[in-house]
Amino acid sequence: MRDHLGRPVVVVTGLGAVTALGFGVKDNWSRLLAGQSGIRRITRFPTEHLKTTIAGTVDLPGDEGFTSPVRVERMAAMAIEEAVAESSIGAKGAFPGPLFLGMPPVEVEWPHRFSLARAGDPTYPGMTQAAAGRADIYETCLYGGVGERLAARFGTRGAPITTTTACATGATAIQLGVEAIQRGEADSCIALGADGTVQPEALIRFSLLSALSQRNDDPTKASRPFEKNRAGFVMSEGAAALVLESYEAARARGATILGVVAGAGERADNFHRTRSNPDGRAIVGAMRNALADAGLEPGDISYVNAHGTGTPENDKMENFGMRAVFGESAPPISSNKSMIGHTLSAAGALEAVFSLLTIRDGRLPPTINHDEPDPSITLDVVPNVARDATVKHVLSNSFGFGGQNVCLVLSGEPR
């Protein structure tokens, strides 16, 4: 089967997910539809004197001071295990395709610094000298190391690709996997996004940008996308993996098809390191490019899975972009981030998973904490309660810092 551009149709045959709501697709989806929040107080490091003391942390078994790359690798492995098991593809430890991993940048963190300081000299030159020969720190902080270890564990083919495009990272990983199959370079692949960077320095940096919610008194009410009193996003962690295959390969082996990645569109601007251009061209362009890539018109979209971070500017820009693309006939739009927070590098992949489940079950997840509508947000945001709907095509938006924007179109199984 070929699409409107003569390319192989790319389908999804396996899903895996980890968020602050729980481990596994089933638990996450049921809690999402129930409107539950996974946001809680941070306990893994001291938060005294910090403006923000809440996050959507994932509590991993045995976590006694894990650094972010270790958390990323462990959550990614959990998501891949679940997705590959559902797909029933290949033999254990021998996945028949490449790996596309989206994850955040890596840096030396406080557990590393404390370890080096204990060697005797806590000055920077002293810790630099103590780091000599510390292969464990080198391997942990090597950006491509996580992907290499995951590729070895699951036996993927070729060199793993690891990428970061800010908050669009998870969607970028899916786009790369789709395009590899469309070009005929692979019949199948694993595409995933993962993020575990709720650690002091990352939290403080986002806080200094005035990007984070400071609604610490009631964590579950802190993430408020599209609501009048929204005041920033909530940092969170998670991972999602998708097994992608060509339609022919999936049908040939009798796989259950969960949906189609029908289109991917990207558009960037160089306006600012964190803000989008106020003219909205990049956001509008990414959405229109995704629709064109899928061969669809705006009226074909049944639902939009929002980027919806809960920052005043982002939500206003997304509303503007929606109206520019869909006019007065915009479909319902809701934000998973109201419940799981902003999982950063994992967001695009997690939201692709939830978009496919929306199509499967005909159920729109809500935007919770929508207590007071914002008059400037003129969209149906599925406030507070999930809703039944007939859903054929979903547009999933991912808008990243630095003007890095990727949108995906997810569709049901071809009939």
List, by residue number, the catalytic residues: 167, 307, 342
Check: CB of residue 378 under 8 Å from CB of residue 323: yes
CA distance 370 to 379: 13
| Contacts (Cβ under 8 Å, ≥6 apart) of 122 | none
Helix (H) / strand (E) element for 405: namely strand 404-411
Q: Which two tokens stand for residue 76?
A: 């990614």
CA angle in degrees (0–180, nearest 5) for 411-331-221: 100
Q: Which residues pair with 188 in a beta bridge?
A: 245
Check: CB of residue 240 under 8 Å from CB of residue 192: yes
CA distance 128 to 154: 35
Helix (H) / strand (E) element for 99: namely strand 99-102
Coil/strand/helix, residue 218: coil
- DSSP type of residue 331: P
- DSSP type of residue 376: T
Check: CB of residue 407 under 8 Å from CB of residue 398: yes
Beta strands in 308-365 (DSSP E): 333-334, 363-364
Check: CB of residue 349 under 8 Å from CB of residue 195: no
One-letter identity of residue 317:
M
| Contacts (Cβ under 8 Å, ≥6 apart) of 123 | none
